[in-house]
Chain A
Amino acid sequence: MSRLHSFALWKSLCLLAIAVPAQAQAREGVPTLSGYMEVHLNKEEDLPTEADLHRFVLMVGHSFSDRIKFWSEIEVEHAFVEVEGGEETGEVAIEQAFVDLMLHRRFNLRTGMVLVPVGIINERHEPPTFNGVERTMVDTVIVPTTWRDVGVGAFGELGRGFSYRTYAVPGLDATGFSAEEGIAGGRQQGGRADTSDPAVTARLEYRQAGLTAGASLWRGGAGFGLVRLDIETPGVTVSSLDARYRRGRHEVRGQWSLVNISGAADLNRALQIHTGLNPNIASRLLGAYAELATRVTPDSWSDEVVVFGRYEKFDTQNKMPADYQPLQQFQRSAWVAGATYYPDPDVAFKFDFVRERNESGVVRAPWKLNLGVGWWF
């Protein structure tokens, strides 16, 4: 998209912002506007410091009636979109656009562009809701947030603190998989998505007095892009467990996510014949993190400072198919430490330091220093 088109998009977003009452108490027939933004300053070892309007997101909702609701999210990443050397510098995307039909506490229908209900961050990624300037690496290269697609499904409350969401969505495109970023490049993201290899995804969640725990699954095919390569359709299963627990001023959260890719050996051979390069796609990717956070400001202060520490393992070469060796620079882990200052619960000034490591004796993992501010309105 050219700068001219980017300007037109920004103009449209501004007009939308003027037209829709900001954070209005939803009234029937009146659309609502909300959104979030993130501005980052990132320094990575041996690279120049970058200042980045990482995300500018507007959300528009509408209540047709008490039974029919609409919700949407449009996002501009990295301020504008321009093609440089064949690569896009940013992204404009619809991340959500769905209609809910509220039928019963236990069973409601949803269709449109939906968020895949896997992990903590994919469905709950407003900047004040998580520590760290950037999303966790587990939620970047193992669970590829923001993961969304056009789908149809159901959701509801089951009682005793349990709830669920389940959707049928198009599968992944295995030609976009890679050794470094796993299945992220295979997301179709709702744009003329090929439905030849459908998938199902579901999440069961439990909430009780400070505890939120979830189990998520995505399972489907990924072979529609390989029909001329005469191999068995690769299948992908993403399994994830997560929990958050708050007590007093403390919070602990963690997530464990596993990606299994069946037929990875055939997939690597076929893509190598097709492109001339071995993509070295693993048959298993593993990610996990644990984070401790505590508010250090006195109870009498309305402003809050939260400090946190996190350990992450994000290994996109965890298990290789027969005859393939892992690229050890992608068997990674990281320690992250930082702080978040909340002058308001919806405004978060963030700082963190990331010490990344990998299993390679040749490729050194860089350290990173991040500053950022994110807000929700």
Chain B
Amino acid sequence: MVVLVMRVRTVALCVFLAAPAGTAADVTITRSQDPVKVIHVSAERFAFTPSEITVDKGTVIEFHLTSEDTDHGFRIIDTDVNVRIPKRRRGETVVKYTADTAGRFIIECTRPCGAGHTAMRATLVVK
């Protein structure tokens, strides 16, 4: 199940070039009482940060997607998540996804962004 919200946050846009919160190389989220887990993903030619996200099965993930340069795509293969990430300081895309199927899911950029576009991928691991 996917819920998509586009937000333009004037104040939040002040973080130009700043490291987004929680941008470790790999992120592991354990299911808790919280109904939604917020995960910030930063896109930049030609990588997503974090590049691997691990959650427990059943976790409702709220992805907050921003770009450090041009607009990118964010598609989780074999799911119905397929959204556009706006350009740097042009807001963020928020998309919810319920990780109700265990497995490894590939996340790929779907908007052409340059020489490394085809390899711009990340992984969502649902345990």
Binding site for B on A (CB under 8 A): 23, 25-26, 32-34, 59, 61, 66, 69-71, 73, 96, 100, 102, 105, 108, 115, 123-126, 128-129, 155, 157, 159-163, 207-210, 246-251, 295, 299-300, 302, 304, 344-346, 376
Contact = CB atoms under 8 A, between A and B. Distances in A.
Contacts of B68: 246
12 contacts: A25-B84, A26-B73, A59-B114, A124-B46, A157-B121, A157-B123, A161-B25, A208-B49, A209-B20, A246-B18, A246-B68, A247-B18
Contacts of B3: none
Given A160-B25, A302-B89, A105 B121 contact: yes
B112 A34 contact: yes
Interface in B22-75: 23-26, 45-47, 49, 51-52, 67-70, 73
Given A61-B112, A124-B115, A160-B26, 20 more contacts: A25-B84, A26-B73, A34-B112, A34-B114, A61-B117, A100-B118, A105-B52, A108-B119, A125-B115, A129-B45, A157-B51, A159-B26, A207-B47, A250-B17, A251-B17, A300-B10, A300-B14, A345-B67, A345-B87, A346-B87
Given A66-B106, A126-B45, A295 B115 contact: no
Which bracket fits the contact residues of B? 35 or more
A162 B50 CA distance: 11
A345 B88 contact: yes
A209 B89 contact: no
A163 B47 contact: yes
A48 B116 CA distance: 38
